[in-house]
Amino acid sequence: MKTRNILFLTAFLLLQSVLHTVAQAQDQNAVLLTIGSQSISRGDFEKIYHKNNSKDVSGDKKSLQDYLDLYINYKLKVKEAEELALDTAANFKGELNGYRKQLAQPYLTDKEASDKLVREAYNRMKTDIRASHILIKVTPDALPKDTLKAYARILKIRDLILKNGDFSQVARDSSEDPSAKENAGDLGYFTALQMVYPFENAAYNAEPGKVTMPVRTRFGYHLIKVTGSRANQGEVTVAHIMVKDGAKATPEESIKAKTKIEELSKRLKAGESFETLAKNESEDLGSARNGGVLPAFGSGRMVPEFENVAFAMVNKGDVSEPVKTAYGWHIIKLIDRKGIGSFEELASDLKTRINKDSRSDIGRSSFLVKVKKEYNLTEIPKMKEAFYKAVDSTLVEGTWSPEKASKLNSTLFTLLDKSYNQADFARFMAEHQTKKKDVSPSALVDQFYEQYVNDCCMNLKESRLELEYPDFKSLMEEYRDGILLFELTDRTVWSKAVKDTAGLKAYYEQNKAKYMWDDRADADIYTCASEAAAKLVKKAAKKGNDYEVVSSNVNQNKKLNDPHAVSSRSARFNKGENEYLGKVLWKKGLAPMFAADGKFILVNFRAVLPAQPKTLEEAKGIVTADYQGVLEKQWIDTLRSKYKWNLNQEVLQQVK
């Protein structure tokens, strides 16, 4: 019996829970507001209400009512914009599409893959890698025979290094990186996001001292040898004084440069200003005007000789001995240094940099795999292969005509319930063809096909974002309404208030008592370094001279040792605006001299102005803003009368 009761109670509670959930859903779908034929549910209103109120004020009836009034006004304005067909204008559609493309980006990549790349980049940034490389060039779209030829050559070079062990000499002799002749392939220290991603991957995963197998990048094949690693040294800000001594300098010029940098070093040690010497003597004209200061930099941004000295400096203000680089001689001063920062501090910047880097293709590729599976991509290979016979060398030359594939009209592949035919693909190839080198027409067909399938997948996904992501749909509705509202409000309120000069003037005349000046003094204030200077000011001011003439004559007086004995200011001052004016009686004429802050003060009142209304020009900014408020209220009153709307008080009570 007890078991039956327990089962009955359990079933009853489960039923109550289900009924409560259903009731909640029904409550959220209950219509709170109708404007014309549009219905706004309680759930839609609460969502936007909580989104725009950062603190939980749902229990504050006044706050809720105020927001509801604003929301009704907002929806009425959008209704008016739609009635005026502003949402059909070309400029509106263009602006909204621009925003849509930006807002869609986070939905069109594999977030998990992107997050992993950000974390990977940060973890790698903790370590600087030093590596040397040898490059054999080959383009990304090279013919297979040319790719194999480059690969075979790089393997022979690797075998040669393994036999004689001299990576540096082989790099000088064989590498197709032009800098290898001088640096023997040594790239110095670098960190994440400073090399193309395949190269970075290989370097960070390589065994130190060993020569990697060939690594393919967009530049060609590389052999990489990691020669060192160190903890990331963060960023430094330095200033430098430079004397040029490049590779083309004559022996005499080199001796002269070295002599000059040594003389500058001695002058610094004798106490001369680094900033002054940099401005006057440095031959790096770009930094000289800033006292030699360079933008902050991290590993791999400067030539190794310069970078090594900069990062070896410990204390701010330290100055190095002369340093020789390929560009000349430098004296370096440490201005500041800082670590790489926490993951939270750098995550946003890393994400932006990754989006501009080739590794962003990883997130896109991963996303495309998911989309193809989600949309059940069904390909018909023989329909693609039919194009092999429809193309010729003109496709390689960038002049192929889709008329050559005019008989191809079958389905190429399907996504969801949508078919993509051969004719569309032919047009795609014709529109995207460019002149190519070292690639066969059939290989180009394969490349175009892959690009076309991927573009179709992305375009279909993008077109369905509102269907698949309610938050994206809401966001787009907010942007749509916001653009409409801005355009209509500008026409009806903002620009109208500025252009309606008669209405603005009439409003000002009716309300000029709101725009008052306080009591003001039209005065000259003289701040004197000595009593003697103040007496000269007093004497000159009594003659009625202009305040600038008074100050100039006193400062040029040969009996005063201070050429800046007097400073002056002349203006119309509000009461309480200037502390010195608060120490004297406001009366036309020269007020008695007084001392303050170790100075001697004289105030000459040219006029004392009683409180009075500001002119329209003097108060135009605030008058215009107030007039805009009046126009907005009138507009809202008109809209509330023009359109039929209804607020369901019963549902509103549920919200409250």
**What's the confidence (pLDDT) of residue 610?**
94
| First vs last C-alpha separation in the chain | 45
Measured CA to CA, the distance from residue 185 to residue 203 in angstroms comes to: 14
- Phi, psi for 420 (deg, rounded to 5): -120, 120
pLDDT of residue 74: 94
Distances (CA, A) of 103 to 348, 466, 479: 16, 12, 10
With cut-offs at 50, 70 and 90, classify the pLDDT of residue 188.
confident
CB atoms within 10 A of CB 359: 22
Q: Please report which confidence band the pLDDT of residue 128 belongs to, taking 50, 70 and 90 as the band edges.
A: very high
Q: What mean pLDDT do residues 103-131 have? A: 93
pLDDT bracket for residue 61 (50, 70, 90): low
Q: Stretch 262-287: mean pLDDT, rounded?
A: 93
Tell me the mean pLDDT in the region 619-642.
95
C-alpha distance from residue 154 to each of 148, 246, 567 (Å): 10, 33, 77
pLDDT of residue 44: 85
pLDDT confidence of residue 652? 85
- CA Rg, the chain, in Å? 38
Estimate to the nearest angstrom the gap between the alpha carbon of 505 and the chain centroid: 43
- CB crowding 30-46: b at 16 or more within 10 Å, else e: eebbebeeeebbbebbb
Out of 3-12, 237-246, 264-273, 352-361, least confident range: 3-12
Report the pLDDT value the prediction gives residue 218, as an integer from 0 to 100: 93
Which of 124, 120, 196 minimizes the C-alpha distance to 357? 196
Mean pLDDT of the chain: 90
Residue 143 region by backbone torsions, left for phi larger than 0, else alpha for psi between -120 and 50, else beta? beta
Residue closest to 568 by CA, chosen among 543, 588, 610, 540: 540
**Which residue segments constitute the domains of the chain, with CATH numbers given?**
2-72 (no CATH), 127-231 (3.10.50.40), 235-338 (3.10.50.40), 375-465 (no CATH), 516-613 (3.10.50.40)
Residues 137, 219 contacting (CB under 8 angstroms):
yes
β-strand pairing of 31-35 with 38-41: antiparallel
pLDDT of residue 275: 93
Q: How many CB atoms lie within 10 A of CB 221?
A: 24
Give the long-range contacts of residues 426-430, CB within 8 A, separation 24 or more.
Answer: 426/387, 426/390, 426/402, 427/402, 428/452, 428/455, 429/387, 429/391, 429/395, 429/400, 429/402, 430/400, 430/401, 430/402
Q: What is the mean pLDDT of residues 150-160?
A: 96
**pLDDT given at position 18:** 41
% of the chain beyond a pLDDT of 70: 95
Answer whether residue 107 shows pLDDT above 60. yes
Least confident of 4-13, 49-58, 378-387, 538-547: 4-13
At 456, the pLDDT band (50, 70, 90 cuts) reads very high
The beta strand positions in 484-584, using DSSP E, are 516-517, 520-528, 566-574
Q: For residue 165, what pLDDT band results from cuts at 50, 70 and 90? A: confident
Of the listed ranges 48-52, 104-108, 311-315, 569-573, the least confidently predicted one is 48-52
Residue corresponding to tokens 């031959």? 283
**Does pLDDT of 3 surpass 70?**
no
Of all residues in the chain, the percent with pLDDT exceeding 90 is 73
Query: Which uninterrupted H or E stretch holds 444?
Result: helix 441-463
567 token code pair: 């400073």
Q: Where does the pLDDT of residue 561 fall: very low under 50, low under 70, confident under 90, or very high at 90 and above?
A: confident
pLDDT of residue 54: 61
Instruction: For residues 412-434, give the mean pLDDT.
Output: 96
pLDDT at 270 over 80: yes
Instruction: Tell me the pLDDT band of 14, cut-offs 50, 70 and 90.
Output: very low
What is the C-alpha separation between 490 and 261, in angstroms, rounded?
63
Secondary structure of the chain: what % helix, strand, coil (to 5)?
55, 20, 25
DSSP 47-109: HHHHHT-SS--TT-HHHHHHHHHHHHHHHHHHHHHHHTTGGG-HHHHHHHHHHHHHHHGGGSS
Residue 11 — very low, low, confident or very high, per pLDDT cuts 50/70/90?
very low
Beta bridge partners of 216: 221
Residue 132, pLDDT above cutoff 80: yes
Q: What is the mean pLDDT of residues 617-621?
A: 95
What mean pLDDT do residues 428-450 have? 92
Ramachandran quadrant class, 227 (left: phi over 0; alpha: psi -120 to 50; beta: rest): alpha
pLDDT for the residue 178 = 92
CA dist., res. 161 & res. 154, Å (int): 11
DSSP string, 419-433: EEEHHHHHHHHHHH-
Predicted local distance difference test score (pLDDT) of residue 12: 44
Dihedral (CA of 71, 72, 77, 83) sign? positive
Q: Is 57 exposed, middle or buried (0-12, 13-18, 19+ CB in 10 A)?
A: middle
Query: Residue 6: pLDDT above 60?
Result: no
Residue identified by tokens 């919200």 is 655
Task: Please state, in angstroms and rounded to a whole number, the distance separating the CA atoms of residues 113 and 361.
Answer: 10
CA-to-CA distance for 591 and 572, rounded, in angstroms?
A: 16
In angstroms, rounded to a whole number, what is the distance separating the alpha carbons of residues 297 and 337?
Answer: 10
List of residues 6+ apart from 116 with CB closer than 8 A:
none
pLDDT surpassing 50 at residue 473: yes
How far apart are alpha carbons 645 and 80 in whole angstroms? 13
Phi-psi category of 401—alpha, beta or left, where left has phi over 0 and alpha has psi -120 to 50?
Answer: beta
For residue 249, what is the DSSP state? -
pLDDT at position 266 over 80: yes
Band (pLDDT 50/70/90 cuts) for residue 247 is: confident
Q: Which tops the pLDDT comparison, 19 or 449?
A: 449
The CA distance from 252 to 72, in Å, is 83
Of 51 and 613, the one with more pLDDT: 613
Residue 88 makes CB contacts below 8 A (sequence gap 6+) with none
146: buried, middle or exposed (CB in 10 Å: 19+, 13-18, 0-12)?
Answer: middle
For residue 143, what pLDDT is reported?
A: 80
Q: Are 438 and 141 in contact (CB under 8 A)?
A: yes
For 295-353, write each residue's pLDDT tens digit: 999 887 888 899 989 999 989 999 999 999 989 999 999 999 988 889 999 999 999 89
Residue 447 contacts residue 433 (beta carbons within 8 Å): no
pLDDT at 50 over 90: no
Give counts: helices (H), strands (E), the chain.
27, 20
The alpha helices in 490-516, defined as continuous H runs, are 495-499, 501-511
- Alpha-carbon torsion (302, 303, 308, 314), positive or negative: negative
